[in-house]
Amino acid sequence: MAETLTDYEQLAADALPQHIYDFVAGGSGSETTLSRNRAALDAITLTPRMLAGVAEPDLSCTLLGLQSTMPVAVAPMAYQRLLHPEGELLLASAAATAGIPFVISTLSSFPLEKIAACGPTWFQLYWLRDRALITSLVDRAAEAGCGALLVTVDVPVMGRRLRDVRNSFALPPDVVAANIVDMVTEAHSAVPGLSAVAAHTASAFEPAVSWDDLEWLRRTTQLPLVVKGILDPRDARRVIDLGADGVVVSNHGGRQFDGAPASIDALGPVVDAVGNDCTVLLDSGVRSGLDVLRALALGASGVLVGRPLLWALAVDAVDEALGLLRQEVWDAMLLAGCADLAAVGELTTGRA
Ligand code: FNR
């Protein structure tokens, strides 16, 4: 039984083969950004308010047009069948039961249409070299009822994830990128001293993706468009000026550019640059209800949670994990004297 979201990591570590645990847990390079995410979140203080007269805080919000029971969505994460035979279908159904959005990865291991049928979803797009494939994925996502498009821009190439290199990590035969099955399958071919998923990314993803491409995407789709992987306030401003609806302040959970700042440290300047008329989500290192409050107090509209939900998936505990997170947000709001999320945004923040 888990008492906090972080407890699922050890339970999953006991249940999973080492190379799969490492693929999920790992970051890039010497994992400095990975550990910085946690250190920076832990350093944020929130000053609680007293005598607020609150017994039942209101956690609900609207995120990119979707009603959500709390300011949390499930981060897009590839290949969830690595963790559980029902993968994305199980986690998306749990998100629907919990009343929060689920983000479908381009590299999901079930077809996006099957996942979208489980509940409210957004679709995450990777910039593939094949433009026709991008158009077809965007059309399929809209057709399947995904409520928004999150385009991830921090993977021109995959960060060098040394755990995967050391493990010569490759996908098992039964785990495929179900949305793009016709594509090259080198992700399955183990090569000593290489990560096969990194090799696949290198051949499938367009490294030279640019602002022109983003403008094209904005013109191509009517869906709300959010750009994931933004850290610099100048990039954030430009994304919004170009007509996008929001940004995800993210360093990809420390898996891409090692040396990047913690997302939570990048958040404030981004919020200052874009103002209040767009959606600013945050991910990377969120592990508790308290972290959710920290992000909102620093100006986020909501957060994406990644690895803890994959750990819970591995031990068949996704409903429990989402229930635990909701309880933590509730408790933190009561202790901080917040009747609703607007009050969380008014809390005084500091750095310990
Ligand atoms: C990811 N992430 C990711 N992001 C994305 O845009 N598309 C994807 O397919 C994936 N795949 C993926 C797989 C795995 C195993 C992990 C751990 C992460 C990044 C993800 O969306 C998110 O940015 C981070 O996971 C957030 O950090 P935490 O919560 O895991 O610390």
DSSP string of 199-259, one letter each residue = HHHHHHB-TT--HHHHHHHHHH--S-EEEEEE-SHHHHHHHHHTT--EEEE--GGGTSSTT
Lowest-pLDDT range of 6-15, 76-85, 112-121, 190-199: 190-199
CA 28 from chain center: how many Å? 17
- Check whether 184 has a pLDDT greater than 60: no
Secondary structure element (H or E) that encloses residue 113, with its range: helix 112-116
- Check whether 304 has a pLDDT greater than 60: yes
- Return the axis-axis angle of helices 263-274 and 233-241, rounded to nearest 10°: 40
Distance between CA atoms of residues 15 and 314, nearest Å: 7
Atom number of ligand 1 nearest to Cα 24? 15
**pLDDT for res 326:** 98
| Rg of the chain over all Cα atoms, to the nearest angstrom | 19
Distance between CA atoms of residues 237 and 350, nearest Å: 25
Query: pLDDT tens across 222-259, in order?
Result: 999 999 999 999 999 999 999 999 999 999 999 999 99
* Average pLDDT, integer, range 31-44: 98
Report which protein residue has its CA nearest ligand 1's atom 8.
Answer: 77
- Check whether 21 has a pLDDT greater than 70: yes
Answer yes or no: is the C-beta of 105 below 6 A from any ligand 1 atom.
yes
Give the chain's largest Cα–Cα span. Answer: 62
Report which protein residue has its CA nearest ligand 1's atom 12.
Answer: 77
- Residue (of 226, 273, 314, 299) closest to 24 by Cα position: 314
**pLDDT for res 71:** 99
Query: pLDDT tens across 57-75, in order?
Result: 999 999 999 999 999 999 9
| pTM score of the predicted model | 0.99
Q: How far is the CA of 264 from the centre of ligand 1 (A)?
A: 16
- Check whether 16 has a pLDDT greater than 80: yes
Is there a catalytic annotation at residue 252?
Answer: yes
Atom number of ligand 1 nearest to Cα 37? 31
Q: How far is the CA of 253 from the centre of ligand 1 (A)?
A: 6
Q: What is the mean pLDDT of the chain?
A: 97
Share of the chain above pLDDT 90, in %: 97
Answer yes or no: is the C-beta of 177 below 6 A from any ligand 1 atom.
no
Q: How far is the CA of 250 from the centre of ligand 1 (A)?
A: 9
**pLDDT for res 185:** 74
Q: How far is the CA of 306 from the centre of ligand 1 (A)?
A: 6
Answer yes or no: is the C-beta of 306 below 6 A from any ligand 1 atom.
yes
Name the residue of 8, 36, 77 whose CB sits within 8 Å of the most ligand 1 atoms, as the mutation to test its pocket: 77
CA distances from 254 to 1, 67, 102, 187 (A): 28, 29, 21, 21
On the CB side of 256, CA atoms within 13 Å amount to 20
In the chain the domains, ranked by start, together with CATH numbers, are: 7-344 (3.20.20.70)
Answer yes or no: is the C-beta of 76 below 6 A from any ligand 1 atom.
yes
Q: How far is the CA of 63 from the centre of ligand 1 (A)?
A: 19
Answer yes or no: is the C-beta of 250 below 6 A from any ligand 1 atom.
yes
